[in-house]
Amino acid sequence: MPVTAPLAPHGPARGLNALGGVSEHIYQVLQNNNANMAMLGIPPQPEPEDGLWEDVAVPQARARRKAWINSVLNASQKEYLRFRFPRQKGEEPLSSDLQALDQLQKPGSLRNWVNSLVQAKKENARPEKRNLIIPGTIGSGKSAMACAVGNEAVERGLGVLYVKHSTYVTWLRPDSAPGNLTAEKVRRLYATCDLLILDEVCGGMNAVATDFVEKESTDLIDARNAAGRATLYTTNLRGRRKPDSPNRGLAIVDILGGRFVSRMEEAAHVLRVVGPDRRQPEEPLDW
């Protein structure tokens, strides 16, 4: 039977919060009982945005987008928020403040990987290639590629966070994380997002890592792999030394050990990027 009782004259109606919103549960109960929403004074609820599956409401999408943007801003990498995949036929062109990846940055492969993550999320399944490793030389565009993935994935409903490897382990030290986050909250935050962009793995580390760094790095990847959550890694280093070039600098295995590298490689795809240093000026500097 339809509910037609008017609102009480004082105070918010049961199920409404101070902002006039209504919880998803209460809204669903009222709908299932054919309640007249207009008579109850409940504002129309927003429909899911295009590109999001039905169980992701607009407020959730906005919260995920804000969390992604804040994670990039906390790393002082605001410029990377502009990168996107090149638009395909039938898609809206990019606005003038956005920049498409070029073909050296393999946007087609990145798009396919994001598609697989979104599809797996819809089906509550684990993607076949859960992890993506992007190795390459300094300045070759790895971070831009990684952030383009994050920018596109969050628009399609995934919860994505960005952090540099060195920053993550620093934030686990007492009173080091932003926003008064405790070490346990930092661990949980980066272990539970749908997709983690772990940029510059072993960046700035030129010797064997401390036991603390090795343990915390390995524990993070262990937790994500065990839960079937995707991780994108970028690095300037090789995972292991090649047998024919034993003296060619440190590899990740030399710094963090074989356990960490093994976990990086679990259900992983490698997308090596080769190109010039994009930070170098067109004309060499004489200094």
State pLDDT tens for residues 60-73. 888 999 999 999 99
Domain holding 247: CATH number?
Answer: 3.40.50.300
For the segment 82-91, the average pLDDT, to the nearest whole number, is 94
Does residue 53 fall inside a structural domain? no
CB proximity list for 108: less than 8 A, separation 6 or greater: none
For residues 100 and 171, membership in a common domain is answered with yes
For residues 103 and 28, membership in a common domain is answered with no
Q: Give the span between the Cα atoms of 18 and 11, in whole angstroms.
A: 10
Does residue 111 fall inside a structural domain? yes
Q: Is the pLDDT of residue 52 over 60?
A: no
Q: What is the pTM of this model?
A: 0.77
Does residue 10 fall inside a structural domain? yes
For residues 178 and 206, membership in a common domain is answered with yes
Which tokens is 174 given? Answer: 């007492």
Q: Is 137 exposed, middle or buried (0-12, 13-18, 19+ CB in 10 A)?
A: middle
Q: Give the span between the Cα atoms of 38 and 271, in whole angstroms.
A: 53
Does residue 178 fall inside a structural domain? yes
Domain limits for position 5:
1-45
pLDDT of residue 5: 46
For residues 33 and 64, membership in a common domain is answered with no
Look at 16-25, 27-36, 83-92, 102-111 and tell me which has the smallest mean pLDDT: 16-25
pLDDT of residue 205: 87
Provide the 3-class DSSP secondary structure of residue 272. coil
Q: Is the pLDDT of residue 273 over 70?
A: yes
Does residue 84 fall inside a structural domain? yes
For residues 65 and 168, membership in a common domain is answered with yes
The more confidently predicted of residues 243 and 126 is 126
Provide the β-strand partners of residue 270.
133
State pLDDT tens for residues 193-214. 999 999 999 998 878 889 999 9
* Phi, psi of 96, rounded to the nearest 5 degrees: -65, -20
For residues 26 and 127, membership in a common domain is answered with no
pLDDT of residue 230: 98
Q: How many residues does the chain have?
A: 287
Does residue 159 fall inside a structural domain? yes
Average pLDDT for the chain: 84
For residues 34 and 175, membership in a common domain is answered with no
Distances in Å between the Cα of 224 and the Cα atoms of 189, 256, 260 are 11, 17, 13
Confidence category of residue 8, pLDDT binned at 50, 70, 90: very low
For residues 9 and 97, membership in a common domain is answered with no
CB proximity list for 142: less than 8 A, separation 6 or greater: 134, 135, 136, 199, 234, 235, 273
pLDDT of residue 274: 86
pLDDT of residue 25: 63
For the segment 131-137, the average pLDDT, to the nearest whole number, is 95
For residues 193 and 64, membership in a common domain is answered with yes
Q: Which residue has the tokens 């490698």?
A: 270
Q: How many CA atoms lie within 13 A of 151 on its CB side?
A: 23
Look at 39-48, 172-181, 213-222 and tell me which has the smallest mean pLDDT: 39-48
Q: Give the span between the Cα atoms of 69 and 154, in whole angstroms.
A: 10
Does residue 275 fall inside a structural domain? no
For residues 124 and 12, membership in a common domain is answered with no
Does residue 207 fall inside a structural domain? yes
For residues 19 and 121, membership in a common domain is answered with no
Spell 95-108 as b/e; 16+ CB within 10 A means b.
eeeeebbeeebbbe
Give me the number of domains the chain comprises.
2
For residues 35 and 74, membership in a common domain is answered with no
